[in-house]
């Protein structure tokens, strides 16, 4: 894969919670750091294959950077840490050991459709399309 011009956040295309996460990141990504890609999309499948990213059912958020890829709560921490308005969340997550935050992440991710619902396809709001690859 060619060098990344922006870190890419791979998300579940069908998850309502993931759709909320995209909107949250879009709002706070004032330095235009991130791009998004759906995990179930052809491009998402290609990216995971090219970068040898093993996909597990509970991994609904994957961050791909020049340094490599990050999953579960490590991905969330890095994403929050890159945005000035959400850095406090990254600092809060640092209080807890990664094993604990990963366990909490897995519980939420495993139950995300039950808790938040499921979409047929990812709904991209106007203005957000430029952030998707």
> Rounded to whole angstroms, how far apart are CA atoms 22 and 4?
19
**Cβ 101 vs Cβ 46: under 8 Å:** no
The structure tokens listed for 126 are 């106007």
List, run by run, the mean pLDDT of 10-residue segments along the chain (133 residues).
Answer: 80 82 90 92 91 77 93 94 94 96 90 80 67 87
**Cβ 33 vs Cβ 80: under 8 Å:** no
Global pTM reads 0.87
pLDDT digits (tens, 9 = 90+) for 54-63: 887 656 789 9
Enumerate domains of the chain plus CATH numbers.
8-121 (3.40.30)
pLDDT digits (tens, 9 = 90+) for 62-92: 999 999 999 999 999 999 999 999 999 999 9
> Rounded to whole angstroms, how far apart are CA atoms 63 and 1?
15
């Amino acid at each position: 894969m060619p060098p990344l011009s922006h870190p890419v956040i791979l998300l579940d295309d069908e998850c309502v919670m993931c759709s909320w996460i995209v909107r949250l990141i879009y709002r706070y990504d004032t330095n235009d750091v991130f791009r998004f890609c759906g995990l179930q999309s052809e491009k998402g499948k290609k990216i995971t294959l090219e970068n040898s990213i093993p996909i597990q059912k509970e991994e609904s958020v994957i961050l791909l950077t020049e340094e490599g890829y990050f999953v579960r709560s490590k991905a969330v921490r890095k994403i929050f840490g890159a945005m000035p308005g959400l850095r406090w969340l990254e600092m809060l997550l640092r209080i807890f050991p990664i094993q604990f935050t990963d366990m909490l992440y897995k519980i939420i991710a495993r139950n995300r459709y039950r808790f938040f619902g499921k979409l047929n396809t990812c709904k991209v709001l106007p203005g957000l399309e430029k952030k998707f690859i």
